[in-house]
Amino acid sequence: MRCREVMRKDVAVCQEGDTVADCAQVMRDRKIGFVPVVDGGGQVSGIVTDRDLALRVVAEKRGTGTPVSVIMTRDVRVCHPWDSLRAAERRMAEVRKSRLVVVDEDGRAVGVISLSDVAQSDTRALAGHVLYEITRREAAPPPPA
């Protein structure tokens, strides 16, 4: 199975110059918590999650007019439509991310694959392993006092 067969194709994106308020409105209107950010050429340059809004805007008392380029995560994890779904699953597990942006050969967002997409297409019962690997970071013991 290829990523193009399970990816969500209707990708909502924000531009680097959009405000965090604009991005939050996209999330609200689309009922999503993850938005790829694109540069002027349409290439993916970052992502914004609902968690980014909480930690980098609200907790740091930034204004809603802050450009998303200031608070976005720049370490974007991607796959391609022609990649095997198994390769995407391995990538999610190895980088401990529950979503990957699917990009074309020019680096433009053409889809998103989430752990729930993997689970819904899972005929090999591997979604549990991917989930375990992704959440392993949260199960780590606290540092010594």
In CATH, what number does 3-137 get? 3.10.580.10
Q: What is the pLDDT of residue 116?
A: 82
Q: Is 24 helix (H, G, I), strand (E, B) or coil?
A: helix
| Spatial distance between the Cα atoms of 112 and 116, rounded to a whole number of angstroms | 11
Name the average pLDDT for the chain: 87
- Containing 110, the helix (H) or strand (E) segment is strand 109-114
**Least confident span in 16-25, 52-61, 74-83, 124-133:** 124-133
pLDDT at 145: 47
Q: Which pTM was predicted?
A: 0.80
% of the chain at pLDDT higher than 90: 70
pLDDT at 30 over 70: yes
Tell me the mean pLDDT in the region 75-102.
92
Residue 73 or residue 122, greater confidence? 73
The H or E element that residue 15 is part of is strand 14-15
* Beta strands 99-103; 78-79: pairing state: parallel
Q: pLDDT for 104-118, tens place per residue?
A: 999 999 999 988 888
Average pLDDT over residues 23-50: 95
